[in-house]
Chains A and B, each alone.
Chain A
Amino acid sequence: EDKVVQSPLSLVVHEGDTVTLNCSYEVTNFRSLLWYKQEKKAPTFLFMLTSSGIEKKSGRLSSILDKKELFSILNITATQTGDSAVYLCAVRRGGSEKLVFGKGTKLTVNP
């Protein structure tokens, strides 16, 4: 059974801090790993990773995948209160359309 484990489950930081969120996975025939941000309701897409060692970057957010060690990290630098959300990691296997999600990391950024 495919499995995604995220850590920590929750995190409280101050504005300006840098955070690292972790996602480890076990999946047969790995195809891709995705990161989503979930604020009030709909998960919004952040990154899709398929290859090891290639950093994806968008503003203050970046992510990298290690397919040998089966994990990914999501970094957020210079955090702002608007970064407060649940960050979801999901994996997709080849030949399947479904995403398997982790429980998420709840990030709270205090002013």
Chain B
Amino acid sequence: EPEVTQTPSHQVTQMGQEVILRCVPISNHLYFYWYRQILGQKVEFLVSFYNNEISEKSEIFDDQFSVERPDGSNFTLKIRSTKLEDSAMYFCASAKWSRELNYGYTFGSGTRLTVV
């Protein structure tokens, strides 16, 4: 079964550093998403991306965050200057087309980001 692949599985970074989280969505999917889950809290939506642009973003997704699809396969989330409160599990997800949104996204296994 096709998978969404995320790398690295765990990243430790110093406060103030930039990090890039990488995702390879399912190859024929067109919609891409980032979510995060702070330990013990809910899964929260960050951003959705379609047709090479952001289609929706939450209030969490401020200027320190950016997303990019640099080539035909990768989808990245950049956090420019990490803060302690950015420590969380970051999930990438993808979906094929708008109808498939009705059947749920496919999530990746996540990147655990620890900011020290």
By a beta-carbon cutoff of 8 Å, the part of chain A in contact with chain B is 31-32, 34, 36, 40-45, 48, 50, 88, 90, 92, 96-104
Q: Are A36 and B104 in contact (CB under 8 A)?
A: yes
For the complex with contacts A31-B102, A43-B107, 5 further pairs of A-B residues with Cβ separation under 8 Å are: A42-B4, A45-B106, A98-B33, A98-B45, A98-B48
State the B residues within 8 Å of A (CB): 4, 31, 33, 35, 41-45, 48, 55-56, 58, 89, 91, 101-110
CB–CB A44/B43 < 8 A: no
Q: Is the interface of A mostly helix, strand, loop or mixed?
A: strand
Once A42-B108, A92-B101 are accepted as A-B contacts, the answer to whether A103 and B45 lie under 8 Å apart by CB is no
Q: Pick 20 A–B contacts, CB within 8 A, sort by A.
A: A31-B102, A32-B102, A34-B104, A36-B107, A41-B89, A41-B109, A42-B107, A43-B43, A44-B107, A45-B105, A45-B106, A97-B31, A97-B33, A98-B33, A98-B45, A98-B56, A99-B35, A99-B43, A99-B105, A104-B42
The answer, among B44, B45, B56, B91, for a CB contact under 8 Å with A43, is B91
